[in-house]
Structure 1
């Protein structure tokens, strides 16, 4: 790791994170180092276009060097590195980077909190989650900049999953909170570095993955080592954010703060259509994985268990209870609104 870090800190950075048009940097150029949760293939879609755009517009006033999953520090250490200022900014979910806040459990895939990707920005921008996240991260010296949605959470497995019984004993790479929820159905959550997942499936260390939708399975190579894709999902969208060290953020001029926010919003927008279209197209046209489905009546057990899980989380603190109440209110509103917001 030490050798790797020295390499990345030196000449390797330009090749890894070259912007669209690299300006001649002035002595006064502000430089940030930012690490994403995503590996190189996935980062090409979920973050790199936005950072390239920022660098091109900011020019010699500011440049952001982008690093991919585990390049500077392991994903589980991202929060600490950002809090210390070792890394200036991060793109991740709260859960994966183990942030010490009351809202960490809701990052990534909080079971059945959302059904569609649009649910996430509505919860943050219209139902008060932005204010709660801002308050929680401000307490620990980190600026929560912007939250958005990614893909839904599905199982990609070597063996077919046609019933809840088929989940028992399956060693699955997934997020901490999703894994905690799924253990009641016999799933064995496994934590490994992101870059090791494909090989772990090939060697039998893992039976499958519950970390993404089908778009990522194809993009990062997991569709090449798994045979089946379960159409039931445990969440409609991954919830992730852009974060920055509070001191570094406060040092920025207001116009650069605005530019960074605009580029974050562009990233959120890109993902909305890239995932939405990709999930449907690859289910219909993708040649690599066979689709399986657990019947609705049986899957209802998982959905009912999620509501009980929400109550367990709400009992842990006042802030968690507040977030759970918002999620319940939101979903009840969507259900009452009917089509196209909710079906059935």
Structure 2
């Protein structure tokens, strides 16, 4: 792994600065400059954050510019929280789980098993069911401003071998998120944690058997569809929960109108992802040519969902705050089931 990482570092250097260039800035000497690092690599960042940040920079002009850096460019993803808290960087786009946040809500960032079915579930949970207030309170305790949460893609398996039953998951070495890995281990999956940029090569060398990190849109966008042969249509979550965060002191220094502009920028980013992922997932299932679709029968997959609800109860016992969050997920999903079509069916 070490030698491979050295090779990747050298290759990146040879590729030149263009591949690692931050988002374009639009003022040479802005009054305020922020450095933001995203969890996403360059290809993915082109969609999940870069357009919004460049829009912010165009509008803010000489008042403020945000320099956007990609995954692991300034600090490793697992060190993002500490770097943000210390003011080494000013803002972050990530899930709580990946950036090793020490808060009570970390478990629920990223993919909380069966917490959502659709991407719209996430903003409703945060804006109408109270998760936003809990996140804001938890991060304020540690000197970080939780700015805004939004939805990304669902969580599916992309693998070298076909998956058509739960037995096929046993022994698979899979790159995934910490909480998702903890849950999937119940079905024999072996969670593997490596730097994001090492995943494609690890699939090629056989160090990994699969990826449970994204939906099919990301598999195509970042190149993973080139090194996997099958895509499992069953998923353990309908949407990844990600957020924008800022160093509390740097955020408090902003004038009100720049705070408003930052909020509009994040809303724009959330909206872009809603249609980009929703349409992309369907389009690539229908028209994609790089991975064959497989499925686990619904009745068998129902046992996974039942196990997820037991997992929720285990998480709820870990602290009062986690119990409160689990209760919100339970109420929300019960409400959606009672609402029926189009909110829930089947």
Superposition TM-score tier, normalisation by shorter sequence: over 0.9
Offset at residue 14 of structure 1 (A): 11
Match of 1:24 among 16, 20, 28: 28
Shift of 1:24: 3.3
Contact 2:146 2:244 (C-alpha < 8 Å) held by counterparts: yes
In the comparison of the two structures, how many residue pairs are matched? Answer: 335
Query: Any idea what SS the aligned residue of 1:86 has?
Result: coil
CA–CA separation in structure 2 for the residues paired with 1:65 and 1:282: 32
Question: Which residue of structure 1 aligns with residue 217 of structure 2?
Answer: 215
2:61 matched to 1:59? Answer: yes
Alignment check: 8 A CA contact 1:94 1:108 kept:
yes
Does structure 1 residue 310 correspond to structure 2 residue 312?
Answer: yes
Partner SS state of residue 62, structure 2: helix
Aligned to 1:117: 119
Q: Residue deviations 1:66-86, cap 9 Å, x none?
A: 000001111000000000000
Q: Does 1:280 align with 2:282?
A: yes
> 1:319 is matched with which residue?
321
Cα deviation for residue 13 of structure 1 reads 8.9
1:89-142 Cα offsets, whole Å, 9 max, x none, are 000000000100000000000000000000000000000001000000000000
* Runs of 5+ unmatched residues, structure 1: none
How much has 1:23 moved relative to structure 2? 2.3
Q: CA deviation at 1:174?
A: 0.2
CA distance in 2 between counterparts of 1:146 and 1:237 reads 15
Q: Output the CA distance in 1 between the equivalents of 2:84 and 2:47.
A: 23
What does residue 297 of structure 1 align with?
A: 299
| Whole-angstrom CA distance in 2 between matches of 1:107 and 1:16 | 28
Q: 1:185 aligns with which of 187, 190, 215?
A: 187
TM-score (norm 2): 0.94
Pairwise CA RMSD of aligned residues? 1.6
Aligned structure 1 segments of 4 or more residues deviating by more than 6 angstroms: none
Matched, 1:239 2:241: yes
* Matching residue within 163, 183, 200 for 1:198: 200
Q: In the TM superposition, what whole-angstrom CA distance separates every residue of 1:212-246 from its partner, at most 9, and x where no partner exists? A: 00000000000000000000000000000000000
**Matched residues in 1 for 2:18 and 2:227: separation?**
30
CA offset at residue 22 of structure 1?
Answer: 2.0
TM-fit CA distance, 1:291:
0.2
Question: 1:172 and 2:177 equivalent?
Answer: no
CA distance in 1, matches of 2:74, 2:337: 43
2:333 aligned partner: 331
Long gaps (5+) in structure 2: none
- Tell me the alpha carbon deviations over residues 293-342 of structure 1, each in whole angstroms, 9 at most, x when there is no partner: 00001001100000000000000000000000000000000000000000
* Cα distance in structure 2, aligned partners of 1:169 and 1:23: 52
Shift of 1:25: 1.7
Q: Distance in 2 between matches of 1:197 and 1:254?
A: 41
Q: Which residue, out of 120, 133, 136, partners 2:135?
A: 133
